[in-house]
Structure 1
Amino acid sequence: MSVRQGQPAMGQPDMGLAARRAARLSLYALFEKQCRLHPERTALAYQDRSLSYAGLRQRAERLAALLHGQGLKPGDRVCILSENHPIFLELSLAALRLGIIVATLNWRLSGRELAHCIALVEPKTILVSTRHRASLDGIGPSGNLLEIGAALEQQLDGPLPTLPPMPESDTEDGLFIIYTSGTTGLPKGALLSQRAMLARLMVYVTDYGVDGGDTFLAWSPLFHMASVELGLGTLLLGGKVAVLDGAELPVICDYLEREPLSNLIFFPGMVEQTLAYLRLRRPQVKRLKKFGALADLFAPREIAEMTALLGVPFTNTFGSTETGMPPASAGRLAAGVAPTDFAKTESLLCDVLLVDEAGNPVPDGEPGELLMRGPTLFSGYWNAPEATEEAFAGGWYHTGDVFVRRPDGRLDYVDRRKYLIKSGGENIYPAEIERVALLHPNIAEAVVVRRRDARWGEVPVLVVAAEGEAPAAEELIALCRQELAPYKRPKQVLFVPKGSLPRNNTGKVIRPEVESWVAAQPTEISA
């Protein structure tokens, strides 16, 4: 007997409207539960003030009433442009209460990029801090403007409002629009649903043991996925969020010694400063469940020293704005050891497939683009149907990242699929050469780009910045000769001052700019 598609099988109940409604879970209801269970528990800390769960709920509902009074209804967008401030999380909760979507603007963007991001989502209201108000000058009007300051604070501490009934919540309702870096063009807005938010929170719970007894230290920009996502998630679990206006190392170490922390990350550009402070302070860490991020961005010696000073392993992650912590962020590197193996461990709540350029699965040991399925995935790019269709072709999310699967199931990161060097018919992925260069104790930064070559079509060029005395180019070539196949060895080594490599607003090296600079240098074949 066949069963028509969409009809329940014999004996299986038909999930009617009432059953489907009962199966829904409102994220705002999860927050309200914490307010009922722990009304006096500290929810937010910022500078010298703190806010209880009961107090946070009152401020979030006053903000929701203010936005509702400006005409915002379910599905409308509100932008925020601000340094780290509790208003990010108050706005996130107000958005859940009203069913609206928060677009987090990156204050590092240029005026042209900000104008694009605002026009893309057509907000009815923009919240902006005094510090970044001037960034909106010259940008055409787009809805109401609310300045984050004394006047708004007075409204958020005023009488309790009367709000409209809670809108019917659906797991696919949008919650955040977070902008991707835009290294190849203007930023795209990745839409994160309530379903994705809840699933990403569950990954933190299952893979790292995060719970309501933890404090999340929100020092990295709250306009970024990693900070606002776990910040809101912590409040849904009943934990505490401490908001810092940047990497205030003395304050961070105070928290490390005083409170159990869920997550702490540092970025490559701040490692030297961080290590110098940690050597002096040598904090006695109370508890830290997750430390670090994409290990490939750090020199092995840096990972060894940071983890030794803190006494915690390094989380070897691989995720993105579009995917959350999945697909491969469950692995850890031992504390106090310079890693030589950066293989990634698949996260829970996701399915992973590696495919060749024709979309066919590749065997173990062969490089392939990583495709992913799972509930943590974003919903698509806002107002960009073609980009969304391309990203989800065939019912999988195409990450654009190339991996090799080992027989034990772990994944070796190779490089971005869209930037590779084709030399004499062979594919060369820059990250393979960069990792070898960073093994040298005097190399702080390394990037590999392509250069036109009459014989091979393209050849790899290694651009490095030294820490202290620079090694000879021949020494780096010899190191690559030991570690890499002959066709992968860089044909030239060029040195630049430390910190001079061009990077985008998320810290990634802008390869096209490096490539243009390399093309203008004298050609010297070194290998």
Structure 2
Amino acid sequence: MTTPSDMHLLDLSRSPGQLARVFRHAHEIPDSPAITYDGGALTWAQTLDLVLRLARDLRDRGVRTGDRVALLTTNRPEFLLTVLATWALGAITVPVNFRLTPREVAFVLDNTTPAVLLVEDRTAELATGAGEHAATAAPEVLDLDSRAYLDPATFASGPLDVLDVVVPAAADDCAIMHTSGTTGNPKGAVLSHLNVFVCSAGVAKKWEVSSGKGVVMLAPPLFHIGTFLASQGAIAGGGTALVVASSGFDAAATLRTMKEHAVTAAFMVPQQWSLLCEEIDRAGGADAVGLQLGHANWGGAPASAKVLDHMRAAMPHTEVKASFGQTETSGYGVGIDWEDSLRKPGSVGKPADDMEVRVVDPEMNDVAPGEIGEIVYRGPGVMSRFWNNPEATAEAFAGGWFHSGDLVRRDEEGFIHVVDRLKDMIISGGENIYCAEIENALTWHPDIAEVTVVGRPDPTWGEVPVACIVPQDPAAPPDLASVRAYLKDRLASYKHPKHVHILPELPRTGVGKIHKPTLREVVVS
């Protein structure tokens, strides 16, 4: 006999939503591990049960379709459970960077006005500080460490009824992922259920994650689009998501984790892969370690030929691939495999599946192979809009394509090479740092008359920000310690300049604009 619940699950199974996949895995492989973490594991049946219990708890707290649920937490299994529970209610998840300052977190909360904010003991003080700077009403705060959210008995109300699970439409909002902006304020890229559904399936296919097979290591922060998408790839395929606690990168500990949990796929930035390969060498090689890694994905920063050669030598049985994309494209965009990356040094590859790209001039005309232009995107991975920012949205989608702000050239074989960034972004250790954001903050420093920021190559981090300063008093210029102290409560520490360069004046073009190419040469010399 067909029941209303049966028909509802049928409707859900036809929707482009991750929760439909969780229901399927819980039915087909209920005892297979879905989420593992330090100290425990959850099967797919347990994961679905906890997701529905947490969804019921959020609904009892007033969360409804379209509401936002913000997560200010480090990597932990509750992060993944909350994301899915939020989607069960038709609500929108808002991952928040726990490395931000209270002022920066306050901006994100003011921008999205969440109904609920999840914190933990480690981030509770940050949330309190953000509340002191926020202009909007404070959301209800739930401390994950104050209740045993991985224990079903915690939820007295029981699980959400299947009939109350929202069936999402393709265009429905599911996540707001904030990315730093050149104006000093971050922008919230709104991802749809279709964005996540399609791109996560692509990750699962690329990493050979299938029903009960594949262990995806989630080591970088889950608020980053790369790790967030990796987690959804594990869910899409029905493999295991290994959540690694956020405690700073330790190559030896990471290698032990990969061996202990038989990790088959992982995403990290090139600097982390380089350190890991050094650790593999010290341990006697991948075979001696017992490494089962089939797929190593790098991104977030360029990888040098030296790093790629080292990865091939240290992990001879691992397929190494790269991803080049943005938060606004769900982390998708362009990719290159191992052999092509060695044959095409410096290239980020060709368009990913289902992604259409062009390289255009300012008038949206395609440029010829070898010429420099801006890469623009169209496809199911492209965000719908910027949250509460119609002006930025209109600018980003001028001409019917998403404008990345990246200047590239495409060679005769169609491989794309990044040349520069219109948004003047520095990539340091996989983190995006925008010069204008630092400049805006330092403009108010009492000892600074003029300031601009450029990136300088760094052997460890790829690039680091350098502040080029014209002091108010040439006899008493600010030093690096003074600059970093001034920024302490204004910008996250990873955005702080690593060097200060004092100049009598800033070089300018004929129309009075600061000439940054000259400064880049100055700070390197």
TM-score exceeds 0.5: yes
Larger radius of gyration: 1
Counterpart Cα distance in 2 of 1:461 and 1:133: 34
Cα deviation digits, residues 448-482 of structure 1 (max 9, x gap): 99xxxxxxxxxx99945568xxxxxxxxxxxxxxx
RMSD over equivalenced CA pairs, Å:
3.7
- Tell me whether 1:132 sits opposite 2:129 in the alignment: no
Instruction: Find the counterpart in structure 2 of residue 437 from structure 1.
Output: none
Q: Is residue 2:381 matched to residue 1:376?
A: yes
Q: 1:394 aligns with which of 389, 392, 399?
A: 399
Q: Give per-residue Cα distances to partners, 1:10-56, cap 9 Å, x unaligned.
A: xxxxxxxxx99996344312210100011111111111211111111
Higher relative contact order (CA 8 A, sep 6+): 2
Partner of 2:266: 264
Letter in 2 for 1:64: A
What does residue 517 of structure 1 align with? 501
Which residue in 1 is equivalent to 2:143?
A: 147
Match of 1:84 in 2: 75
Q: Which amino acid aligns with 2:397?
A: F
Query: Which range moved further: 63-72 or 398-407?
Result: 398-407
Distance 2:454 2:167 in 1: 56
Match of 1:186 in 2: 185
User: How far off is 1:295 after superposition?
Assistant: 8.3
Structure 2 gaps, min length 5: 1-9, 429-433, 437-452, 461-479, 507-518
Which letter maps to 2:501?
W
Partner of 1:350: 355
- Counterpart CA distance in 1 for 2:493 and 2:176 is 16
Q: What does residue 27 of structure 1 align with?
A: 18
State the match for 1:94 in structure 2.
85
Q: Which amino acid aligns with 2:139?
A: G
Instruction: Give the aligned partner of residue 335 of structure 2.
Output: 329
Per-residue deviation, residues 432-454 of structure 1 (Å, max 9, x unmatched): xx9xxxxxxxxxxxx999xxxxx
Say which SS state the counterpart of residue 293 (structure 1) adopts. strand
| DSSP-derived class of the 1:517 partner | strand
- Whether contact under 8 Å (2:356, 2:377) holds in the other structure is yes
Residue 115 (structure 1) shift = 0.2
1:314 to 316, 320, 331: 320
Could you tell which deviates more after superposition, 58-67 or 267-276?
Answer: 267-276
Q: For 1:21 and 1:94, how far apart are their aligned partners in 2?
A: 15
Q: Give the Å deviation of 1:358.
A: 1.8
CA 1:465–1:171: 2 relative to 1, 3 Å: closer
Identity among equivalent pairs (%)? 24
Superposed CA deviations along residues 178-214 of structure 1, whole A, max 9, x for unmatched, are 1103454111111111100011113224444443311
Residues 342 and 161 from structure 1, CA distance in 2 versus in 1: closer, same or farther, beyond 3 angstroms? closer
Contact 1:234 1:241 in 2 (8 A): yes
Letter in 2 for 1:329: G
Match for 1:240: what amino acid?
Answer: T
Deviation readout 1:271-308 (Å, 9 max, x if unpaired) = 66434422222333554343242386333323322332
Paired residue secondary structure (1:87): helix
Question: CA offsets per residue over residues 345-377 of structure 1, 9 Å max, x none?
Answer: 221111111111122111111111111100011
TM-score, length of structure 2 as denominator length: 0.74
Match status 1:277 vs 2:256:
no
Structure 1 counterpart of 2:431: none
The separation in 2 between residues aligned to 1:175 and 1:516, in whole angstroms, is: 42
Structure 1 residue 104, shift from structure 2 partner: 0.4
Q: Which residue of 1 aligns with 2:305?
A: 300
Matches within 5 A, 1:109-508: 109-138=100-129, 139=131, 140=134, 141-153=137-149, 156-158=152-154, 159=156, 160-163=158-161, 165-182=164-181, 184-212=183-211, 213-246=213-246, 247-257=249-259, 261-268=263-270, 270=272, 273-281=275-283, 282-284=285-287, 286-294=291-299, 297-311=302-316, 312-333=318-339, 340-419=345-424, 463-465=456-458
Aligned positions, number: 440
Quote the Cα distance in structure 1 between the aligned partners of 2:100 and 2:435. 25
Deviations 1:317-349 (A, max 9, x none): 2111111343211432479x7974535122111
SS across alignment from 1:185: coil
Q: Structure 1 pair 338/261, CA: closer, same or farther in 2 (3 Å)?
A: farther
Question: Quick one: which amino acid aligns to residue 39 of structure 2?
Answer: D
Q: Distance between the aligned counterparts of 2:273 and 2:150, measured in 1? A: 40
For the 8 Å contact 1:402–1:415, the answer to whether it is kept is: yes
